[in-house]
Amino acid sequence: MALLASQTLSLDLNVLDYGILAVYFALVVTIGLLAKRAIATSEDFFLSGRSLPAWVTGIAFVSANLGAIEILGMAANGAQYGMSTVHFYWIGAVPAMVFLGLVMMPFYYGSGVRSVPEYLRRRFNRPTHLFNALTFATSSVLIAGVNLFALGIVLQATLGWPLWAAIVVSALFVLVYITLGGLSGAIYNEVLQFFIIIAGLIPILVVGLKSVGGWSGLEKAVAKTDLGANSFSTWQGTGIPWSNALGDWVGIVFGLGFVLSFGYWTTNFAEVQRALSAKDMNAAQRTPLIGAFPKIFIPFLTIIPGLVALALVPKLGKSDSLPYNDAIPLMMNQLLPNGALGIAMAGLLAAFMAGMAANVSSFNTVFTYDIWQEYIRPGRPDGYYLRVGRVVTVLGVLIGIVTAFIASGYGNIMEYIQMLFSFFNAPLFATFIIAMFWKRVSPMSGIAGLAAGTAGAAAFHFWAFNLSYFYPGGVIDPAHATINAQMVNFYAAIMAFLVDAVVTVIVTYMGKPKPVEELAGLVWGIPDPSAPDPSTVPKPVWWQSPKLLGFGALALTAGLSLVFL
C-alpha cells in the first residue's frame, strides 16, 4: 500500500468543480429569498410559524448537527481514537434523541414555549432564565465559530486566501441567507445540505476503502499505527485501568452516553428549535425520531474516512502542520477526481454552513426573545422584535468570526466541543431532568444548581491535569504522552451533573416549591388543563407512531452495537 504522494490541503479544483460549487451557492441564496416571502411576524422568522412538516424538520434536525463538529470532528476522532468513536452516535446520540421525542417534546411543544430558556423561566424564575439565556448565547457563538473556522480552512485550501479572509467571507455568505429567510431559510437549506453532505461523503468512503484494500486491508494498515489492532473494537480496553483510546466504561457510559448525550440532544436549543417549528405535536415528537435513523449510519461516512487517513498519512496528528482535523480534506484532495471533488467540496461547505446557521438562528431567537424582549425592551410591537432579530443575526455572525480564531487553537475540534458541552449542557440536563419529574423543586434551586454545575466542570478540568489516571498507562509523562482529553471531558460532565443535582436538592429543601397550579404542563404528572383532551386528538396512522419510530431506532442501534463489540 503506497502512502499519499502529497500531504497538503492545496485542492486542485477545475472548471467543473467550480461550476458545481456555483450551482450550490445559487441554490442556497434562492432558498433564502423564497423563504423571505413567508415572513410576516417574529414567530415566522424565529420558529417558521410552527408550520413545517415532520419530514422537513426531521432532516433539518440531524442536518443542523451535521456540521464541522460531525464531519471534521468525528473523522478526527476516528483517526485519533478508532472505532470507539461510534459511541458518540450509538450511545451518545440515538437514545437521547428518542428520549427527546417520546418524553420531553410534549413538555416543550405542549407548553407553547418559544425556547429552552423560556421553559426554565416558567418552571423556576427569572434569574434562572437569564443565566441560561446568557450561557446558551455564549455557547452558541463559540460553536458557530468552530463551523466558521472549518469553513475558512476549506476556502483557504481551495482559493489560497489567508485564513482570516476566508473566515470573513464565509461568515458573510451564511449571514445573507439567515437574515433573508430566518429559521425557514435555515431549515430548508439544511434539508438541501443534508443530501449534498451525504453525496459528498460517500465517494470519500468508497474510494478510500478501495485505496487501502477494502475493510481487511484497512484493519491491517491501522493495526500498524499507534492505535493498534484493537482500534476496531468499541469496548475492548474500557475496563479500569483503561487501555482503550477513548477511556474507560464509566466515562463512556455515564459521561458520554448519559450526561453529555442527553444534555446536548434534549436541552440544546439549536436542535430543539427545529422540533418547535413543526406543525403539530405529533410532527414535533417525530422530528428527532426521524433524525435518529440517518444518525445511526452516519458514523460509517465520518469515522472510517478518518481511519483511512490515518493509514495513508502516518504523520497525521503528529505535527502542527497535519492535525487530525485535516483527515477529511486530505482524503478529498488525494483520492477524488475532478467532478467528485466538486461534489465533496460542496458537501463540506454545506456541512459547515448548516452547523453555523443552526447556532446563529438559535442565538438570535434566544437573544431576541429571552434577553432583549424580556429584560431590555419589553412590550414593543411584534415588528420591532422582527427587526431586532435581523440585527442580532448580524451580531451573532460577527461574534462567530472572533470565536473562530479560538477554535483554531485546537488540533481536534471535537475535544474542544465536548469541553464546551461539559460546561454548558451537562449541568443544564441535571436541572431539567430533576425539575421535570420532581414538583418539589424550588425556584432558586435552578440558578444555584446551574452555576454550581458549571463551576464544578471548570474545576475538574483544571484538576484532571494533575491526575495520572487520565494519562495513557497511568503515568504523567508530558514528554511522551498527552492527557486523554475526551476522557477528561466525560468525567467533567459527570462532575457537573452531580454537583448541579446535589446543589439543586439542597437549595430546594431550603426554600418553598412553586404552587402546583403554576406547574401545569411543565412537570410530569401535572397536566395542563388548557391542553386538548387526548381522547379528542386524532391518532396518527401506524407508521407515524412516535413509539414505533423510537423503539425501532433503538433496536437497530442495539443490533449494530453487537456487531462492533
pLDDT digits (tens, 9 = 90+) for 471-521: 888 888 766 668 888 899 999 999 999 999 999 999 999 999 999 888 888
pLDDT at 460 over 90: yes
| Between 514 and 543, residue with greater pLDDT | 514
Residue 538: predicted pLDDT: 67
Percent of the chain that is helix, strand, coil (3-state, to 5): 75, 0, 25
Closest by CA to 60, choosing from 364, 277, 324, is 277
Mean pLDDT of 284-306: 93
Residues pairing with 52 in the sheet? 278
Mean pLDDT of 115-120: 88
pLDDT at 94 over 90: yes
pTM of the model: 0.87
Closest by CA to 446, choosing from 102, 121, 29, is 121
Which tens digits make up the pLDDT trace of 67-83? 666 787 888 888 888 88
What are the φ/ψ torsions at residue 475 (nearest 5 degrees)? -130, 130
Predicted confidence band of residue 186 (pLDDT cuts 50, 70, 90): confident
Closest by CA to 363, choosing from 199, 484, 218, 182, is 182
208, 331 contact by CB (below 8 A): yes
Predicted confidence band of residue 29 (pLDDT cuts 50, 70, 90): confident
Closest by CA to 299, choosing from 227, 205, 416, is 205
Helix (H, G, I), strand (E, B) or coil at 378: coil
Rg (CA), the chain: 23
Residue 558: CB atoms within 10 A of its CB come to: 12
pLDDT at 534 over 60: no
Predicted confidence band of residue 167 (pLDDT cuts 50, 70, 90): confident
End-to-end CA distance of the chain: 28
Residue 323: CB atoms within 10 A of its CB come to: 20
Closest by CA to 103, choosing from 288, 366, 358, 252, is 288
Q: Which of 14-28, 98-112, 340-354, 501-515 has the lowest mean pLDDT?
A: 340-354
For the ranges 404-413, 522-531, 543-552, the maximum mean pLDDT occurs at: 543-552
Predicted confidence band of residue 550 (pLDDT cuts 50, 70, 90): very high
564, 234 contact by CB (below 8 A): yes
Residue 18: predicted pLDDT: 86
| Between 221 and 245, residue with greater pLDDT | 221
Which helix H or strand E contains 35, and what residues bound it? Answer: helix 15-36
Which region, left, alpha or beta, applies to residue 319 given φ > 0 means left and ψ of -120 to 50 means alpha? beta
Which helix H or strand E contains 357, and what residues bound it? Answer: helix 340-365
Query: Any idea which architecture 55-528 has in CATH?
Result: Up-down Bundle (1.20)
Residues 6+ apart with CB under 8 A from 541: none
Q: What is the largest CA-CA distance in the chain?
A: 70
Residues 6+ apart with CB under 8 A from 479: none
